[in-house]
Structure 1
């Protein structure tokens, strides 16, 4: 409990993860309002799948460059630009709805633009977490547990608030609230410590390509992060259409209201909040490897019970709560592995590479599940998801490198993130009195895991982008 209180007093960390959670809250509301808007106005799950396909494709394109952008301009600046762009792209829709004008092409266009910017912002905020935790003297696994609890809080409030706003007011009001939340996220991240970033060479197309490839090279050669990423490809390809197509279709075609869908999704988030807080208290005492394996099995078993309940029922809400509860420890374990095993100066690019690889599954799975629901029923889509979850819960038992979840820093096979030993000094980047970090990095592959890239592939930067900000 004292550890959680210390986390709550960690000002920089709280700013970062609170801004993250506000973005998640806003995106969760958009994730309910947009498919609901399309389904209620067109009655076509295929149209909803088309919107989800466009968002997934934009996410893939955006994340390919977002890691390079975040490492180059800093996570703080990337996050500020992202939140400002999201504010504008969301606000366009309620303005057009005032005139009863909402063609599918406009929905797709605004979602694509918002998603393109959102990728860099999400990765930028992710890269801020480990440095903020270190600055506030908070154990990283505890910081990621609190991060997960707040993310689940956002996932709870988002769909529920969106459903209630749509039911009581309108889709337009829900989108206005979303735009205001993006602005609040902008303000929070603006209070994170600035950093001055110096490069010997400007960012050219060739240099950007080399930077991006370096992130992919490290990720695909790292002994633990590679299998984690491949597992997450499947999970992402299932989770995104579940939230954006399958669950909404399950409720809409069962004549259930938006508020019931909001309560259903919110219950899962409440379970995640409770589970995340519980895991934060025991995270430093349990085997991450065993917890990861058992949680995958338990999550699959709980998900299977959805086939026995009706959408909108109290039993469905109870099952949703249990799904969030049992899965709560997975994200902190995975996030901690990425943060601990990736050199700090590569963190944005590695996160971007992982997001791009995982995001590649989203457009394909969205179209396939949209077609499946249109051709059959939402319940059949739930069965397909269950089969995939069951296969993955079995496969992870046969991936020996996942035992590295329990490897400590400095042990063989563990990547050294490259701490701030080489940080020269703090100074003001813009003369306005803000504390600014200046970091000198010998090369991009410093601290990489064995085999993570040839020394000759290093670029010639004298000052690399620090994840804490711009």
Structure 2
């Protein structure tokens, strides 16, 4: 591999490995809790503890990433996540693992996950420039790693959980974080950093954080996007953390079915993002945004509620993923046009935290609802709410600005995409 390609290859590889590890946790953790407790409420509580640190880490970690450096932050985040994930099977096999201790480990494991992803994303423009790759193409590759990780990691995790159990899969997950940190250490040089990195003196942690928050509040379209995605991610958290594992275990065949459904949606999203990268510049942004969300949102909930055979549910997930593949690139393009390089990590963190803030509530609320009114009723109601919410951009307001600039500036290496806070699909 030529030296100029090494940083970009390193970031893409590390991101892929780290996100594949996240998929292992996504599949193994709820199935482990469901098997140990038999309680949807406990499963939802574990999901809440898994998603809450994503919000906190995104909100408050961005400023720290700016301060300690992007490369170092990426490695530190992976190492901390790896140690805490490894502690789950280790404690279970030795002194025992009470449920409160599991919740604590899950919380700490996710605390630096978002800052780590933010750090890798913030280095992408410089790595692309070093390799001589257009930033649009590098963004597309970076997004494809997320979709590909879901496509490969989720089915593999389901098969591994079926064959070995959830705890060995978590041990494999811990190893993926170590590999990701090593790849960054070896392939991404310490000299790779934005030309504007640390040029402006810090005004203090809370002032820096407030500056990122003020930027978001003063951008009406970004603010509207975050509010909409706040609600849709709440709905998505009910599905991925609680309702889909329950239906897969009860009706569809267990861990392998759960992994297959998550992988089917990820595979569809990968193809959808590639299609959008080819034709998206010709499509009207607002109509595409609403259509994609309407197709990807409610149908999987209603398919799970109807409980048809597994191939039918998987087909719905594929179509849903195809539509979802257009959402994050579209939102990323809008953010790329608006976020200045000097505020990268802090603004990215605030946007991500805002988009993810309700996910813990969604996970815990889904567990309670499944216990009290039943899984089917909960799925039908959430699907209906999802559809109503994603139609709101048709009402106008700041959504009228969701259109392509008349004379867009060419992408520059000192601009980076915001890491996809858009949808958890």
Q: Which bin holds the TM-score, normalised by the shorter protein?
A: 0.7 to 0.9
CA distance in 2, matches of 1:363, 1:305: 22
| Aligned residues: CA RMSD | 2.7
Is residue 214 from structure 1 mapped to residue 183 from structure 2 by the alignment?
no
- Cα 1:165–1:311 change in 2 (3 A) is farther
Is residue 12 from structure 1 mapped to residue 7 from structure 2 by the alignment?
yes
Is residue 74 from structure 1 mapped to residue 65 from structure 2 by the alignment?
no
Matched pairs, number? 407
Deviations, residues 228-268 of structure 1 (Å, cap 9, x unaligned)? 11111112111122111111112223373111111111111
Contact 1:305–1:319 under 8 Å retained in 2: no
The SS at the match of 1:253 is helix
- Alpha-carbon shift at residue 394 of structure 1 (Å): 1.3
Is residue 159 from structure 1 mapped to residue 136 from structure 2 by the alignment?
no
Deviations, residues 273-305 of structure 1 (Å, cap 9, x unaligned)? 222222222234433333212212332464365
- Alpha-carbon shift at residue 366 of structure 1 (Å): 1.8
Partner of 2:17: 22
Among candidates 267, 272, 292, match of residue 270 of structure 1: 267
CA distance in 2, matches of 1:409, 1:111: 46
| Residues 106-117 of structure 1 aligned to structure 2 (within 5 Å) | 106-117=101-112
- Alpha-carbon shift at residue 59 of structure 1 (Å): 2.6
CA distance in 1, matches of 2:357, 2:206: 19
| Residues 256-295 of structure 1 aligned to structure 2 (within 5 Å) | 256-295=253-292
CA distance in 2, matches of 1:147, 1:390: 29
Partner of 1:465: none
Partner of 1:99: 94
CA distance in 2, matches of 1:143, 1:62: 25
The SS at the match of 2:251 is coil
When normalised by structure 2's length, the TM-score is 0.87
Among candidates 40, 53, 59, match of residue 54 of structure 2: 59
The SS at the match of 1:224 is helix
- Cα 1:304–1:49 change in 2 (3 A) is closer
Is residue 127 from structure 1 mapped to residue 122 from structure 2 by the alignment?
yes
Task: Give the unaligned 5+ runs of structure 2.
Answer: 416-425
Partner of 2:293: 296
Deviations, residues 364-389 of structure 1 (Å, cap 9, x unaligned)? 22221110011122222221221222
- Cα 1:419–1:321 change in 2 (3 A) is closer
CA distance in 2, matches of 1:138, 1:284: 19
| Residues 275-424 of structure 1 aligned to structure 2 (within 5 Å) | 275-300=272-297, 302-303=299-300, 305-307=302-304, 309-310=306-307, 313-408=310-405, 420=414
Q: Which structure's CA Rg is the greater one?
A: 1
- Cα 1:290–1:15 change in 2 (3 A) is farther
Contact 1:67–1:351 under 8 Å retained in 2: yes
- Cα 1:153–1:419 change in 2 (3 A) is closer
- Cα 1:137–1:401 change in 2 (3 A) is farther
The SS at the match of 1:341 is coil
CA distance in 1, matches of 2:328, 2:15: 14
Contact 2:129–2:413 under 8 Å retained in 1: no
CA distance in 1, matches of 2:225, 2:241: 24
Q: Which moved more, 1:353-362 or 1:125-134?
A: 125-134
CA distance in 2, matches of 1:135, 1:70: 22
- Cα 1:198–1:229 change in 2 (3 A) is closer
Among candidates 187, 190, 212, match of residue 194 of structure 1: 190
CA distance in 1, matches of 2:166, 2:44: 19
Q: Which moved more, 1:192-201 or 1:139-148?
A: 192-201
The SS at the match of 1:56 is helix
Among candidates 173, 181, 192, match of residue 176 of structure 2: 181
Structure with greater proportional helix content: 2
